[in-house]
A and B are shown apart, each in its own frame.
Chain A
Amino acid sequence: MYKIRVDDGLIKHICNLSMLELNDREFPEFREQLQKILDYMSMLDEVDTENVPPMFGGIECPPLMRMDIPFESLSRSQVLQNAPAEKEGLFEIPKVIE
């Protein structure tokens, strides 16, 4: 892990990837805080991890599959009950095709 410089370009890039917008207070504040946090994380550089397989899960067993038995799922009205906007039994979003 080399030294990462957290600049405005990097923050804009990750904001775009994560669909976030930051306000005028957050932008410089987060840039500074993320720099400090990433500097701290660079301590992992000193650990020799050659030939160490990564551990991605909390337990390392293959996921247990359930039997493929159909059961009742939520009704359409239950699925839509929290929708910010719905139309004709579907979720409604702003038009995406010009």
Chain B
Amino acid sequence: MDISKLGIFEIKNLLLKRKICCVELTKLYLERAHKLNPILNAFITIADESAILDARRSDENIQKNIDSIRPLEGVPIAIKDIFVTQNLRTTCGSKILANFIPPYDATVVKRLKDSGAVIFGKLNMDEFAMGSSNENSYFGPVKNPFSPDRTPGGSSGGSAAAVAAGLTPASIGTDTGGSIRQPAAFCGIIGMKPSYGRVSRYGMIAFASSLDQAGPMCRSVRDCAILLESIAGNDPKDSTTMTTPVPHYSEWLAGDPSDIRLGVLKEGYYEGINPEVLKAYLRVVELFAKHNVPIVEIELPHIKYAVAVYYIIATSEASSNLARYDGVRYGHRSEDYRNLKDMYKKTRMEGFGDEVKRRILLGTFALSSGYYDAFFRKASQVRRLIANDFYRAFSKVTTILMPVTPDVAFRLGERVSDPLSMYLSDIFTIPVNLAGLPSISMPAGLNRDNLPIGVQFIGKPFDEHSLLNVAAFYERESSCMEILSRVSL
């Protein structure tokens, strides 16, 4: 059986119709992961033994009770290596956690398992989710399945590459400044960042706590709905998760355009972006206009400051979150030190990569005495202005359409030595995180080098269901997911 083009929905059908059993299916995914990982480097850990055991349990459940099986029963899923998994190594792409075996499951992992999913691997990522190219992973860069000399994007690059190449039917990534949507766009798949507070962050290794959010990365909008339904909702272990009821997202896939009012930015906002990206974006605007969806021009005057604001706030929060890696309770400890303070310093020097150190330094600076008001506080004030811009726009429109990135996937190595140019490529994804909004990244065709281009739909807080309706409409009318047939691995 060729599993390379299957999503969650197709797999559920195969399992329910008994065309294949969970153990056989899981073995096929494990084999495929082992076979293709030397090419893509998408996996950090492949969980052969525990996956087969879980799959066996799912087979028994299906055998016993075919009429009331759980929503993801027996579906093999590999997830970003940022979620702690009980008794399964979790590295967060870092040397400092290279041998870390968590004693508990993240809430996202627990909910996936409670829904019946078979977690069969942990996917590569930029170290501590800091990066836009996956080149910051201690375990080496991931390759883009559309072109192996290109980045898959980051930080959830392993997840995006694995979904696009059919190494997993779907994945869960995390998005602090675009880390689900940008790699989804670079690899031609769908990636959804839910509203801040929609999905629990308990057991999701922290980067920037006021921005981090987990979400699905999939081959169809329907799969996004299925996965989000499983992981969303209040968690007593994360006091920032809201009690707002979680709708049955799968019931919001009619793709009805009648209530959509689509907000678009004036073209002036897109000066300097790749013309092919702009053209693809304008084609999407046209598609909606053709179906009589009102297109409304909006202004977001402060988004030009978003990159500066983000790299102050995110690094400040990171500098505090990453203080826990001190070589005392878990993780790497240097072997060569004179005293306790020296142990901390050497441990962190040896355990962290360049980008992580750079961000810790930047964040420590922004929070330090004498600079706090001018940097952290100022950035937090401009953050409010950016959020207010969105709220104003949403008084006129239901959904905002924007490109995901100013360019297509760049070559590996191209931007490593210039962190600022790497940061600037996040200009369209970052504002969404600062405002805590939900957004879904969808493919919008290929450029002349057959590299995917992405657009994103942005919604009101906790309005993921409307966003899925818009995405389902776009998916149906544009046939955008056909680009995945170009991947042949």
Q: Which residues of A contact B (CB under 8 A)?
A: 1-2, 4, 10-11, 13-15, 17-23, 26, 30, 33-34, 36-38, 40-41, 43-44, 47, 49, 52-59, 61, 63-67, 74, 78-79, 81-85, 91, 93-94, 96
Instruction: Give the total of B residues in contact with A, Cβ under 8 Å.
Output: 75
Closest chain-B Cβ to A60's Cβ sits at a distance in Å of 9
Sample (18) of A-B pairs whose CB atoms are under 8 Å apart: A18-B319, A30-B358, A33-B419, A37-B362, A40-B308, A44-B379, A47-B378, A49-B378, A53-B384, A54-B383, A55-B380, A58-B240, A59-B196, A64-B234, A64-B239, A78-B104, A91-B328, A94-B339
A96 to B343, CA, bound (A): 12
Q: In whole angstroms, how far apart are the Cα atoms of A13 and B368 in the complex?
A: 10
- Say yes or no: is B340 at the interface (Cβ < 8 Å to chain A): yes
Chain B residues with CB under 8 Å of chain A are 99-101, 103-104, 195-197, 210-211, 213, 234, 236-237, 239-243, 302, 305, 307-309, 311-312, 319, 323, 326-333, 337, 339-341, 343-346, 348-349, 352, 354, 357-358, 360-362, 364-365, 368, 371, 374-375, 377-385, 387, 419-420, 423, 433, 436, 461
Q: Is the CB of A21 within 8 A of B383?
A: no
By the criterion CB–CB under 8 Å, are A23 and B349 in contact? yes
- Inter-chain contact B239/A63, CB cutoff 8 Å: yes
Q: How many A-B residue pairs have CB under 8 A?
A: 171
Question: Whole-angstrom distance between the alpha carbons of A95 and B348 in the complex?
Answer: 19
**Beta-carbon contact of B305 and A43 below 8 Å:** yes
Do the beta carbons of B378 and A14 come within 8 Å of each other?
A: no
Among A63, A84, A91, the one with the most B-chain Cβ atoms within 10 Å of its Cβ is A84
Residue of A nearest to B341 (CB): A19
From residue A54, how far is it (CB to closest CB) to chain B in Å? 3
- Assess whether B364 is in contact with A52, with CB atoms less than 8 Å apart: no
In chain B, what residue has the closest Cβ to A45?
B378
Q: In the complex, what distance in Å separates the CA atom of A22 from the CA atom of B326?
A: 16
Give the one of B101, B211, B340, B361 with max A CB within 10 A. Answer: B361
> Is the pair B349, A58 in contact by a Cβ cutoff of 8 Å?
no
Please, which residues of chain B bring their CB within 8 A of the CB of A96?
339-340
Q: Kindly name the residue among A44, A67, A85 whose own CB sees the greatest number of chain B CB atoms within 10 A.
A: A44
